[in-house]
Amino acid sequence: MKALVERRANGMTVAIVSARTLSERDGSSFRPWMQCEGLKANRFLNFRLFDLNSLDQFDENDFSIVHAHQNSGLLFGNYLADLHGVPTREFNCAISRYRFPKREAARLMKSREIEKMQDRLLGNAKGIICAGESIEEFARPLGRTYLVRNCVDLNRYGQCDISSTQIAVCGPFSGYSNQYQIECVVRVAKLFPRLSFLLIGRVEDRDLRILSGAANIRATAYVDNFPDALRTCSILFAPYASFSAQDGVRTKLIEAAACGMCIVATPYAMCDFYGDNVLVAEEISELGHHLEYLAESEDNRRNMAKSMRTYVSVYHNHITETKKLIKVYEEFEN
């Protein structure tokens, strides 16, 4: 089978284009990078990865297929679109935190502008690759859709230290929605002082001042090896606000599950994530009680987390998901 894939790839050259710079470690840059790792693992080597810093080296005529992530397809005439989320829905969620009746006209204009961009992006695409079931459901009436979930290489994620009572909160912590995470963690930490939190990722100076009010929160700043930092904890805390809801599963949840961690989250973190035994709540006190329940007993943590790595191996395995991607390439090459 591997040899067959290599033979089919001989006449096919694929450009994978990220809408972000690959030096930024977040879900937007992680997805194209992980797809490339999966292609190599499946012995499909006729591709090149571009980001915003390398597009000056890109010539569309050099490639038979352009796989364009997020809105980068707007730069090209012939491409497969890779949707990480639904732009109009995410904009409407994000804008919902504001209350400005006098600026309603501006909101409507911006909303219409994003809707036109989305229509042009998807209307001109040869096919639409979807990062999750909710995205595929949205895009199905608009074109030929293909479900290729966010994925990880399980070999990069060792089993977490289940004896640890440390609770991970994952950044980067920039922008309003991630600042909400910090404020939520501080509130829980003050109500439950016996809990211990580790913020993994760069924290802005203004937020460090907020953290100084809670002695049971530590921050790592930027880490080179995110999986190693993550698995020093046994619990992931993912407190996302309603205005930061997105379509498609969050990479942080998949990575935590790959480490065999327990997960406590708000409902807005859970789109397209179907792992068993996730504790979900919205109120600060209830979130804190869930975390306390897990922190006070290793048996509780072990029972909650036992199915997580199996879930990832079935639904978010980089080998399996990238085989789907190769089939999409073959369909459009033919």
Per DSSP, the three-state class of 328 is: helix
pLDDT band, residue 270 (cuts 50/70/90): confident
pLDDT band, residue 256 (cuts 50/70/90): very high
Domains of the chain: 2-151+317-333 (3.40.50.2000), 154-313 (3.40.50.2000)
Whether 248 shows a pLDDT value over 80: the answer reads no
Quickly list DSSP for 118-176.
HHHHHHS-SEEEESSHHHHHHHGGGS-EEE----B-GGG-PPP-TT--EEEEE--B-SH
pLDDT of residue 37: 96
* Average pLDDT value for residue range 292-308: 93
Alpha carbons 159 and 260: distance in angstroms, whole number: 6
Say which residue the tokens 């229509």 belong to: 119
pLDDT of residue 211: 75
Among the listed ranges 9-13, 30-34, 182-186, 308-312, which one has the minimum average pLDDT value? 9-13
Q: Tokens for 110?
A: 């911006």
More confident residue, 30 or 97: 30
Share of the chain above pLDDT 90, in %: 52
Say which residue the tokens 């859709």 belong to: 145
The β-bridge partners of 69 are 82
pLDDT of residue 147: 96
* Average pLDDT value for residue range 43-48: 95
Whether 246 shows a pLDDT value over 60: the answer reads yes
The β-bridge partners of 203 are 173
Alpha carbons 136 and 324: distance in angstroms, whole number: 14
Whether 179 shows a pLDDT value over 70: the answer reads yes
- Which residue type is seen at 226? F
**Residue 21: CB atoms within 10 Å:** 12
CB within 8 A of 231, min separation 6: which ones? 157, 158, 159, 160, 161, 259, 261
pLDDT band, residue 110 (cuts 50/70/90): confident
More confident residue, 25 or 44: 44
Q: What is the pTM of this model?
A: 0.86
pLDDT of residue 300: 93
Burial of 245 (0-12, 13-18, 19+ CB in 10 A): buried
